[in-house]
Structure 1
């Protein structure tokens, strides 16, 4: 390849880059919202009725009410998120301990499974409230846990799952 061809290729890249930068600049000018740059003030304020004070969150049904009205079929579907690491057969550990009889079981009580130290320190037993808190945010409830699951944000999903797990050994 001769120098003229190399120069043309380099010029084409520089020209394309210049067009990109000019397009970016034009878009910023056209779609600028002020944003406080350069001493600009906000053009108008939309009143939302919020004076900055946080409103008290409306509470839904309690955990006991959710468990009482839990759908076991939906709980089994939610368990699909857990299936990669946990098994529900008694004594069959996976990456995580088996969950057969987990409701009411002592924390860290599955033989043959190496728990992280964080799990034994959070609660003496896996009651409904402890499972709910753990399933909502595992790393927040038991800092240092080896469980990498992000958690179940919906209270109904957690209640359905806990009720389904509780039904396995009944």
Structure 2
């Protein structure tokens, strides 16, 4: 059933298929070759676009100050940002994966009864002030190394300020 001739036919079919694919690749490269660049040829620019330089001092805009942003924070927008926290935290006074967050602004760090905090978090701050919450929400692992919170943080200062304003509006 499987003799030398059968194996020869199978091997010939595989080699023929490989040869067709290699020739197809060569043909496609020949047809779609655009010219300059890639094969030792010098690349020349087709046209030059003149751009006026901005010599207004070169100073970049400083990042927004948290206190300034927090003064005009929108709790309604913070409620939308809280959607990212909702998977692990609740606002009804019960703990989930993380502690409950209602009344967290102004509360002592690690004071949610019945929740086991990581030791690094209680060493980072004493009270959850808006400034401490801002620093924690920006980079939880950087603020409290060793924390068990796996959230990467909120890079936008506006989102953090809105979220803190929303959490401040929840009752403890």
> What is the TM-score when the length of structure 2 is the normalising length?
0.73
Aligned twin of 2:10: 5
Aligned twin of 2:73: 70
Cα distance in 2 for partners of 1:159, 1:23 equals 55
Q: Does 1:94 align with 2:96?
A: yes
Q: Give the number of equivalent residue pairs.
A: 162
Gaps of 5+ in 2: none
Aligned twin of 2:126: 124
Aligned twin of 2:62: 59
Aligned twin of 2:169: 167
Cα distance in 2 for partners of 1:32, 1:138 equals 50
Query: Which runs of 4 or more aligned residues in structure 1 lie more than 6 Å from their structure 2 counterparts after TM superposition?
Result: 21-24, 31-34, 46-50
Indicate how the Cα distance of structure 1 residues 8 and 95 shifts in structure 2: closer, same or farther if over 3 A, else same.
Answer: same
SS at match of 1:73: helix
Pairs within 5 Å for 1:32-51: none
Indicate how the Cα distance of structure 1 residues 121 and 57 shifts in structure 2: closer, same or farther if over 3 A, else same.
Answer: farther
How far the C-alpha of 1:122 sits from its partner, in A, is: 1.1
Aligned twin of 1:109: 111
Cα distance in 2 for partners of 1:32, 1:118 equals 58
Gaps of 5+ in 1: none
Indicate how the Cα distance of structure 1 residues 56 and 151 shifts in structure 2: closer, same or farther if over 3 A, else same.
Answer: farther
Q: Does 1:142 align with 2:147?
A: no
Aligned-CA RMSD value: 3.5
> What is the TM-score when the length of structure 1 is the normalising length?
0.74
Cα deviation 1:127-162 (Å, max 9, x = unaligned): 111111111111221222111111111111100000
